[in-house]
Structure 1
Amino acid sequence: METAQPRHLIVTVYGLYARGAGGWMSVARLISLMADLGVDQAAVRSSISRLKRRGMLQALRQGGAAGYELSEEGLAILKEGDRRIFRQERATLADGWLLAVFSVPESERYKRHLLRSQLTRLGFGTTAPGVWIAPAHLSEATEDMLRRLDLSGYADLFHSKHLAFGDLAEKVRRWWDLDQLEHLYNEFVQAHRAEHASDDREAFVKYVRLLTDWRRLPYLDPGLPAELLPDDWVGIKAADLFFTLQAQLAVPAERHAVTSS
């Protein structure tokens, strides 16, 4: 797999180890943890600046110590991410589909781009221009996103059922580019199948990298019905591997993160 970028590792570290402290972490502690991950101070500071510009983090001093806390938007994004990353939720055909249809005036093109990017991030596929589709279990997350970003006035959501025509499994393969998704799952399995940690620090390094590599995949694969997936779908194997390693690494990784200065 491609090496995770420092800002993605920082988001993982904040998601795992800062929210228990109200979303704040000192600069000293962050630099120490990132050094364990092989990221130098210059890269940490550059990545923090990018995350500030994107509205994920904001500067805050506590007890005389310089640090950064997750913004309200950052906390909301991570909370929504928890529902996707740490839950193995797979739809069935009987659940039906969620259709999102939107229309945004040309004068508000930036909102059109935002809407498209957010639907993609939630795991929607596209059936036609302006018509997006996802398993119905994503309805709550989609409604929350539209309200949070003040986009609800541009979209309509429908709970639907596929009646006809053609091979639905083949359509799903196109709507979600399952060939590319299969490739990404295989890369994940190859990168992490032999994981073993000899101490807490190594568990921390492996767990942060594991979670950083994993967390984008549940968004690309929104839990499509097994009936529509290829036989021996590698996504199931990848999910089993992730949750097995999480059970092994999470506790020792947290011990290291808590004791790091």
Structure 2
Amino acid sequence: MSVLTRLAPQPQRLIQRNLLRLTWLLSPLLVFLAWMLVADSGRYSEQLLVPPAFVWDAFKDVLHSGELLEHIRFSLSRLGMGFALGASAGLLFGVALALSKTVEVYCSPLFHTLRQIPSIALIPMFILAFGVEETFKVLIVTKAVFFPVALATCEGIKAIARSHFEVARLYRLPLRDVIVDVAFPAAAPSIVTGLRIGLSRGWMVLVAAELLAADSGLGQMIEMSRQMMRIDIVMVGVVVIGLFGFVLDYGFRLLEKHLFRWKAR
């Protein structure tokens, strides 16, 4: 009888758990409903507030024409290259900043000064230095990714108990083994968080760069549509950018949960 008592609430708990998982849909649905009601009220011109149905039609048009996929491909390729460069450099510099007193003394003040400068503020300087071609866009993403990754790597390694490094020194492990087998595994949660933040910042900065100086990409699609007063396509670009940003960030969150399942125990 006690077994049946324990099993009886299971379906109810399962339903509650599934409903809880669906609550993340509530806020997007409320925003969509408010958008639809305000657009249909007639208080604003359709050129200022496009109804959702018009945006959906514009989405189908740019999707079937291949224009949207082409802009997405350009934006993601720039993000991928910039993220790879920024994350690699950030990891290396973060390790050096955490383990080398010389690097910390000479580079730490400049590093902490430069990381306070918004990447968007450097876009005009990058354009003057590198022009408006692909190099500029990849490097501005690299800059946006580099600092969060380097800071997270440095702080993660510094938080490791000194006894870990003392044991490594006792066994006379080479520096490469100390970094790969001691530093990175112990600082992995902080590093992955830095990578996630860097990816999000890189995505936002890339869109801003494409808005200002690009002939392709989602940001450029928005800017060209604005100039042509195609606000429906502008809204398509905004929604697609938001969805891709959400997917990228959520993907890293899932990776964190998978890699560090032991933290939840």
TM-score by length of 2: 0.25
Q: Which structure has greater strand proportion?
A: 1
TM-score by length of 1: 0.26
Q: Which structure has greater helix proportion?
A: 2
